Amino acid sequence: MRYTYTTSGTCSTQIAFDKDENGVVTNVEFTGGCHGNLKAISKLVNGMTAEQIAQILAGNTCRTKPTSCADQLAKAVTSV
């Protein structure tokens, strides 16, 4: 199923992704943000479960912000 998550506190404004009944995440797409870095993150997490993504990326910060696009991805995939 396709999901869309509105981010908070990041340069990217939205994350879209597919998540199947087993929790496997694919086709991650960020709107806004650092295009090259976010494309790389999308490729690296493709095929991982939401739990695996959260274990790796949750709590990651960006400069002085308390969150990051990667942290928002962890929140997005575990919120649905």
pLDDT tens for each residue of 11-30: 999 999 999 999 999 999 99
Dihedral of alpha carbons 22, 37, 68, 31, sign: negative
Measured distance CA(34)–CA(59) in Å, rounded: 18
Confidence band, pLDDT 50/70/90 cuts, at residue 74: very high
0.85 exceeded by pTM: yes
Which whole number is the average pLDDT over 56-66? 97
Which whole number is the average pLDDT over 48-61? 98
pLDDT tens for each residue of 34-50: 999 999 999 999 999 99
What pLDDT score was predicted for residue 43? 98
What pLDDT score was predicted for residue 52? 98
Which residue type occupies 59?
A: G
